[in-house]
Structure formats: C-alpha cells, structure tokens
C-alpha cells in the first residue's frame, strides 16, 4: 500500500471508534463499489447486520443488475468481498457480504 492509502486507512480507523461505526464505514465502501457497477443506482440498498464478532452486509440490487454485481464466475463479488475483508481486518473486525436480487 502506498503512503497516501495508509494515511487514508489510518484516518478511517481513527474516525471509526466503535463497532457500529466500523461496520458503517465498510458498508460505505461496499455501497460505493456496487453503485459504480450497476445500471439502476436507485435500487441499491444495503442492510448491515451486526453480530458479536462480525457483521453481515446484505446488498439488494435490481434483478437485472445481480449478474453484474456477481460477475463472471463470481469474480466481481469476490473482489468486493476481498476489499471489504481487508478493510475490516485493518479496523479489527470481520465482515461478510451477501448479494440479494
């Protein structure tokens, strides 16, 4: 990671002081990535379910956009999950991302 990226992640870490804020910051990342992929931006909604040790982010998109979010052989959703887990690890938690049609 570059120095600028490290500073940005450190700023996120400082800003996200409690567990609820941490999951919201990860959800913001997921929302940013999904909105940039889909055609129907207005149909994108996220639900964050906080557990004791981890959080689940359920992403709802239009039926026509589900395939775009998943990608060929699941590559796109795998990349989104990887980025989300990397940020969650930096923030000291774990996260799962699920796509709903």
List pLDDT tens digits, range 47-82: 999 988 899 999 999 999 999 999 999 999 999 999
Is a pLDDT exceeding 80 seen at residue 8? no
Backbone angles phi, psi at 24, to 5 degrees: -70, -40
Contact 61, 88 (CB under 8 A): no
Architecture of domain 3-100: 2-Layer Sandwich (3.30)
pLDDT for res 16: 46
pLDDT for res 15: 52
The tokens describing 36, both together, are: 């940039």
**pTM (global) more than 0.85:** no
State CA 46 to chain mean position distance.
Answer: 9
């Amino acid at each position: 990671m570059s120095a600028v990226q490290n500073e940005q992640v450190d700023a996120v870490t400082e800003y996200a002081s409690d567990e609820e804020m941490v999951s919201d910051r990860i959800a913001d990342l997921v929302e940013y990535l999904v909105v940039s992929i889909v055609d129907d931006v207005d149909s994108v909604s996220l639900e964050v379910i906080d557990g004791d040790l981890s959080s689940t982010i359920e992403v709802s998109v239009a039926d026509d956009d589900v395939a775009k979010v998943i990608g060929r052989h699941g590559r796109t959703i795998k990349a989104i999950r990887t980025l989300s887990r990397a940020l969650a690890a930096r923030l000291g938690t774990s996260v799962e991302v699920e796509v709903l049609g």
